[in-house]
Amino acid sequence: MLGLFRSYTAEVKKYQLQNTFKYFFRWRKCLEPGASSVKDEQPWITFKAIDFLDSNLKSTDKVFEYGGGGSTLFFAKRVAEVVTVEHNEEWFKILSETIAKKNIKGWKGNFVLPVKGDLVDPPDFANPEHYSADDVPSYGFNYKDYVSVIDAYADDYFDCVIVDGRSRPACIKHSISKIKKGGFLVLDNSDRKYYLTQTESLLADKFEKIFGDFGPSPYAQVFTHTTIWKKIK
């Protein structure tokens, strides 16, 4: 058993080393002064996840994203329609001005603030029905309106949903019916286990995990984790 564990650990380390070398120069460039996701038109997820989306998205696709930024510009250059919901007013203003300046078409931005008051006292960050978030500025607020923006769209409407904003368990739950068969669900920072504690079972029947990648990502000096699922029914 000890030998098996050592062998597995060695393979993990080998994979991580290969992953680091593969993306090293892209990673280093993103850590240079002045680099930013909006300026570089690049999502803030692992490089492996970026490359997967670059290879699998089609020009006719429709994308919904919880949390906008460089990912918005990345998607807008590749697909027909991008819908973004963002809770940070300053960030949303920067994003809107950048998109207008670049004359980007096919984007619909939604600025939605959290609502004061917990829906449940005390809220459980893992419970998608509580619409809460675990960052300090979100304490005492709920994100039900923010999360529910996607509900305005028909079921099976989107080819890809990326969850990289607030109240992620709730975002996952609301996204499930909105992704068409063959489409993708992308969860960033999926190493935060509570995102999936009460939502992974909801995905099990209709989604297949493509990969859960722990590796280098733009603008981060430490490895991060991004998981992608494909809807199979």
The architecture in CATH of the region 2-231 reads 3-Layer(aba) Sandwich (3.40)
Round to whole Å and give the CA distance between 160 and 186. 8
In 3D, which of 174, 178, 166, 183 has the Cα closest to residue 228? 183
Category of 64 on φ-ψ map: left (φ > 0), alpha (ψ -120 to 50) or beta: beta
Two structure tokens written together for 139: 């304490």
Measured distance CA(45)–CA(214) in Å, rounded: 10
Q: Quote the CA–CA distance of 27 and 77 in Å, as a whole number.
A: 22
State residue 83's pLDDT score.
Answer: 98
Could you read off the pLDDT of 122-142 as tens digits, one per residue?
Answer: 999 999 999 999 999 999 999
Domain chopping of the chain, boundaries: 2-231
> What confidence tens digit (pLDDT) does each residue in 32-82 have?
999 999 999 999 999 999 999 999 999 999 999 999 999 999 999 999 999
3-class DSSP state of 47: helix
223/214 Cα distance (integer angstroms): 6
